[in-house]
Amino acid sequence: MSTFDPSQFLDLTTTEESVRRPPLPAGEILSGEIADISVRINQGKQDPSKTYTSVDVKIKFSTAHIAGQPENVTVKDGFLLDITDAGQLDMGPGKNGRLGRYREALGMNVAGQPFSIRQMQGRSIKAAIKHRPDPNDPTILYEEVAAIAKA
């Protein structure tokens, strides 16, 4: 039985500092699994009358073989969707390219085969990692998915 007491948790103290996990190596190609997918609607920043639909993909990588890393690391990827006026995926030429690359990497881009974005969850994938420096502190690096491929 756990000794965790939520009513006392906010008053717990520590003398240890928080330590950032070192970033995954840039260019490293990691095997992972799509852990979670969510879709959201974003208000346009420059034109608030426009909205954009985006997909957030969380990929959980097994990283125990990389020194200084925990057993698993999750990296978030995201992309905008092209949606028709009827609220469906726009499957026209040049539309939904990033989604198409995910479908190809997951073996789910087959004409005539039913597909939904939710079906991507739990599937294996490989991804290359890149770094994006924090605009306010370039010593802080954020991991991003640079490219994806079949597992």
Tracing tokens 């390219």 back to the chain, one arrives at 97
pTM, full prediction: 0.84
- Count of domains in the chain? 1
Domain-located, residue 140: yes
Query: Is residue 6 in a domain?
Result: no
Residues 6+ apart with CB under 8 A from 143: 23, 24, 73, 75, 129, 130, 131
CATH at 89: 2.40.50
Q: Assess if residue 91 is contained within a domain.
A: yes
Domain hosting 129: range is 21-149
| Segment 19-28 mean pLDDT | 90
Quick: pLDDT tens for 72-126. 999 999 999 999 989 899 999 999 999 999 999 999 999 999 999 999 999 999 9
At 1, the pLDDT band (50, 70, 90 cuts) reads: low
8: in domain: no
